[in-house]
Amino acid sequence: MNKKESGYRWVVFGTVLFAYFLIVSQRTAPGLITDQLMKDFHVSASIIGFMSSIQFFAYAGLQIPIGLFSDRYGPNRFLIIGTLLAGLGSLIYSFSPNEYVLICSRLLVGMGDAAIFVNLVLILNQWFKAKEFVKLIGVVSLAAGLGSLSATVPFSMWISFAGWRMPFLSIGIILVIFSYLLYMVLVLK
């Protein structure tokens, strides 16, 4: 079976794209609850800033190593592991009893997030022709924008309704389940 001719490639695309959408929404969602975190955990804005920055330090610092490993060993496992780490980080975040666990959970999310985009691009390159690939990267950019947008008003409304822990718990569970779905789609086929 030629991957680039298969109808299954659209299943791969949809699954990978939705995982990316969810993970992008988790990049900025903690910004909605900074005041609540400061109040709940009795921490300063500098601790919240550190918590936010640790995620991006992990994300930026792991981009090149993840890219090298993905080129060498293939993108499927790294995308699955990245989705799982982001999901586990969100789960831990939702149960955090103190600021130290909050910081560690955001580190996990950043580590998982680092494995997503580069592997998404590599997977699309494996499954789609060059002409389709370019268009699909545009769709990926649109999904990223919608993911960021969903972390504003919709997520804020959910937080207002259910408190801040439930939305992060729910997205964490979905990401963990999705990591298994990615395994089924990308590895088991």
Predicted confidence (pLDDT) per residue in 72-103, tens digit: 999 999 999 999 999 999 999 999 999 999 99
Mean pLDDT computed over 150-170: 94
Q: Which amino acid makes up residue 148?
A: S
Within its chain, how far is the Cα of 172 from the centroid?
10
* Chain segment 162-177, per-residue pLDDT in tens: 999 999 999 999 999 9
Q: What percent of the chain shows pLDDT beyond 70?
A: 99
Closest CA to 105 of 118, 116, 94: 94
Does the CA dihedral 34-164-36-32 come out positive or negative?
Answer: positive
